[in-house]
Amino acid sequence: SNLATPLVNDSSGITPKRSIGYMSSLKSASDVRSLAFSGDICLEDLHFSYPLRPDMEILKGLDLKLKCGTVTALVGPSGAGKSTVVQLLARFYEPTSGRITVAGEDLRSFDKSEWARVVSIVNQEPVLFSVSVGENIAYGLPDEYVSKEDVIKAAKAANVHDFIISLPQGYDTLVGERGGLLSGGQRQRVAIARALLKNAPILILDEATSALDTVSERLVQDALNVLMKGRTTLVIAHRLSTVQNANQIALCSDGKISELGTHLELLEKNGQYASLVGTQRLAFE
C-alpha cells in the first residue's frame, strides 16, 4: 500500500514534503464510504494521553472490535476512558500509539472530512442551532440532497413528527437559542432525526437519560432502536435495556477492556459487569 512508501529517502538525504506523500495515500470519498459500510472497525492496542497531560496515560493498550452492522455497548466506571475512546474514534485526537482500522485500513489513510461524513455522533446534550426545527434536522447536509419529505420521514422515524406538527409554525417553528424552547427529550429526538437523515454507516451514541421523564425516555429509546438498526454502533450505555440488547458488551476499566461478552456471558462470569448490573450503575457521565 501507499502507506508503506518511506517518507524519507535515505540515499539522497532529501526529505520529501510530508504533506505530498501523505495526501497521495488518502483514500477517495467513495472508498471511505464503502469501507465504512462493509468493514469491521478494530481498535488495536490503543494508548493515549491528552496533549495537556502527557504524563497521564488514559488508554493503556485498549483492544476492541466493532463488528460491521452490530451494536457494541461500552460500560464502566467514571474516568475509565469511555468518552476518550469516542474522541479517538471520531478523530478529535490521534492515538499516542496503536491504531484504529476499518476493513483493515488505517483510519489515518482516510481524509478527516470524509470520515466525518460516515460517522454520526448523538450526544446526551445535542447541539441545536437557533433556526427552525426542520432546518435543524437537515443541518449540515447539502440542500440538494434533502427534500422536505425526507425531513418528515426522518422526524416520523425519530418519534418527533407529532410533536413538531403541534408547534405553532410546524417545521418552520424556531427552536430558540441552542434549542432552548424544546425539552431535553425533544432535542434528543431532533438530533436522532438528523442522524437518520445523514444515514451514516457508523454511529456513536452517548445515551444518558437522567434528564428525561418516562414518556420521553420511551420515545427516545424507540427512536434510538430505529437509528441503530444495521449500523456499526458504539454506545456508551447507561440503560440496562440497551446493554442487554447489544450484540456485545465491553467493560472499560482503567484504560482497557477488562470484560467482553454478551449480557448473559458476563453475568455468568460474575465479575465487575455483574456487580455494575447489581447496582444498576452501568456508566457514569
Judged by beta carbon distances under 5 to 8 A according to partner kind, the member of Mg ion, ligand ADP, none in contact with residue 80 is ligand ADP
Minimum CB distance to ligand ADP, residue 206 (Å)? 9
Return the residue matching grid coordinates 482503567: 254
Angle 125-218-153 (CA atoms, 0-180°, nearest 5)?
A: 75
Measured from the CB atom, is 82 or 187 closer to Mg ion?
82
Across 121-133, b (16+ Cβ under 10 Å) vs e yields bbbbebebeeebb
Minimum CB distance to Mg ion, residue 79 (Å)? 8
Measured from the CB atom, is 59 or 223 closer to ligand ADP?
59
Minimum CB distance to Mg ion, residue 73 (Å)? 14
Judged by beta carbon distances under 5 to 8 A according to partner kind, the member of Mg ion, ligand ADP, none in contact with residue 73 is none
**Which residues sit at the interface with Mg ion, rule CB under 5 A?**
82-83, 285
Q: Cβ neighbours of residue 65 under 8 Å, at least 6 residues apart?
A: 40, 41, 42, 43
For residue 119, what is the enclosing H or E element?
strand 119-122
Question: Do the Cβ atoms of 116 and 33 come closer than 8 Å?
Answer: no
Judged by beta carbon distances under 5 to 8 A according to partner kind, the member of Mg ion, ligand ADP, none in contact with residue 84 is ligand ADP
Judged by beta carbon distances under 5 to 8 A according to partner kind, the member of ligand ADP, Mg ion, none in contact with residue 50 is ligand ADP
Judged by beta carbon distances under 5 to 8 A according to partner kind, the member of Mg ion, ligand ADP, none in contact with residue 180 is none
Judged by beta carbon distances under 5 to 8 A according to partner kind, the member of ligand ADP, Mg ion, none in contact with residue 237 is none
Measured from the CB atom, is 28 or 97 closer to ligand ADP?
97
**Which residues sit at the interface with ligand ADP, rule CB under 6 A?**
50, 52-53, 58, 76, 78-84
CA 98 to chain centre: 20
Judged by beta carbon distances under 5 to 8 A according to partner kind, the member of Mg ion, ligand ADP, none in contact with residue 53 is ligand ADP
DSSP 79: T
Measured from the CB atom, is 39 or 76 closer to ligand ADP?
76
Minimum CB distance to ligand ADP, residue 92 (Å)? 9
Nearest to 159 by CA among 225, 211, 206: 225
Burial of 164 (0-12, 13-18, 19+ CB in 10 A): buried
Measured from the CB atom, is 52 or 215 closer to ligand ADP?
52
Question: Do the Cβ atoms of 115 and 127 come closer than 8 Å?
Answer: no
Measured from the CB atom, is 82 or 238 closer to ligand ADP?
82
Other beta carbons within 10 Å of 13: 7
Minimum CB distance to ligand ADP, residue 80 (Å)? 4
Minimum CB distance to Mg ion, residue 118 (Å)? 23
Measured from the CB atom, is 88 or 102 closer to ligand ADP?
88
Minimum CB distance to ligand ADP, residue 58 (Å)? 4
Q: Cβ neighbours of residue 80 under 8 Å, at least 6 residues apart?
A: 252, 253, 254, 255
Question: Do the Cβ atoms of 191 and 126 come closer than 8 Å?
Answer: yes
